[in-house]
A and B are shown apart, each in its own frame.
Chain A
Amino acid sequence: MSMTYSYYKNMQLNNIIFVYQGEVTADLVSSILQMVENKLEGEGEDRKVKKRVFNVMVECLQNVYHHLDALPPTDASSSVRDKTALLMIGREERDYYIITGNHVLNDRIPDLKARLDRINRATKEELKQLYQEILTGTGFSEKGTAGLGMIDIARKSGQKLGYDFHPVNDKYSFFSLEARVSRIPEK
């Protein structure tokens, strides 16, 4: 039990509103969205900021839900794949931040990295154009999403996306993504 206080202090120090580590299901995503929405509502945050945070949160969480690569079972007697991820939302003086972390197959990294770098290099106008191209051009991917999520996150965030790939083993890495939403409403 002695760890409890240090967890608490750590979360407070890092301005964490919410953190979750565990399996990501559709119901869980719904519950988190509702909970954080209520929290933002209760704290009287600027309406526009609140909407943006909610929007970015929806995309980030659903992105994890649709695209995480489940790890094979660690226990040989089990057939349950490990679909755990990390979801974190925090509020600093200037920004809200939304961080997700999940396993991805190493094979997917070059493509993911190229997409993120392209998004981070793009101007506001280029992101708009890219969004429209993907919206009209391609069909749904096999997982039923439009491949638009990250572009939308970048458009609504208005800031660069932070990311990292932490090697886990020869097959998997841990992918973290950070999106920030300014608390200072632009004029």
Chain B
Amino acid sequence: MEALRIESTHKTPRVILDPENGIFEFSGRSIPEDSVGFYAPIFEWFDQYAKNPLPVTHVRFDLEYFNTSSSKNILELLKRLEAIHAAGHEVRVTWYYDEDDEDMEETGQDYQALLNLPIELSVKIQS
């Protein structure tokens, strides 16, 4: 399946969805006013991917900030991963946060509580 790559902006994250190289990554910030518009093509991509996923899908979220309308879209995204997981394919999510960023850690915990999906919280190595 063809990779989806979106470069980051001041308001939107960098997205790499590349099954050939096994890279699934969201990094940066997600604070667009119109988060639905930003995430729609990503949902479409995952709907296609779900038809024939890799044996193991490891998705990394390395987000600095996101707004509440993105948080809803990220939940939708994780639900799609949950469905792939439920269909018997291995799916792992790593949720990165800065050591002193309790808010981002807490958001990761929120998602853990809401989903039946292995979400690992991981402290980001300081660059």
Residues of A at under 8 Å CB distance from B?
26, 29-30, 33-34, 47-48, 51-52, 54-55, 58-59, 62, 65-66, 128, 131-132, 135-136, 140, 144-146, 148-149, 151-152, 155-156
Contacts and interface: CB of A to CB of B under 8 A. Distances in A.
Contacts of A34: 10
A47 B126 CA distance: 13
Contacts of A62: 31, 33, 67, 69
Given A47-B100, A48-B100, A51-B65, A30 B71 contact: no
B114 A136 contact: yes
B33 A55 contact: no
B114 A135 contact: yes
A148 B114 contact: no
Contacts of A65: 33
Interface of B: 10-11, 31, 33-36, 64-65, 67-69, 71-72, 75, 98, 100-103, 106, 110, 113-114
Contacts of A58: 31, 65, 67
B75 A136 contact: yes
Contacts of A48: 100-102
B100 A146 contact: no
Given A55-B65, A55-B103, A58-B67, A140 B33 contact: no
Given A131-B110, A136-B75, A136-B114, A149 B68 contact: yes
Contact of A145 (B11, B69, B98, B102): B69
A47 B99 CA distance: 11
B36 A144 contact: yes
B65 A59 contact: no
A131 B68 CA distance: 10
B124 to A, nearest CB: 13
A12 B65 CA distance: 30
Given A62-B33, A132-B110, A30 B68 contact: no
Contact of A148 (B10, B71, B106, B113): B71
B67 A59 contact: yes
24 contacts: A30-B10, A30-B11, A33-B10, A48-B101, A48-B102, A51-B64, A51-B101, A51-B103, A54-B65, A55-B65, A59-B67, A66-B33, A132-B114, A135-B72, A135-B110, A135-B114, A136-B114, A140-B72, A144-B34, A146-B69, A146-B71, A148-B71, A151-B68, A156-B103
A128 B110 contact: yes
B75 to A, nearest CB: 6
A152 B72 CA distance: 12
Contacts of B67: 58-59, 62, 149
A51 to B, nearest CB: 6
Contact of B68 (A26, A47, A52, A59): A59
Contacts of A33: 10, 31
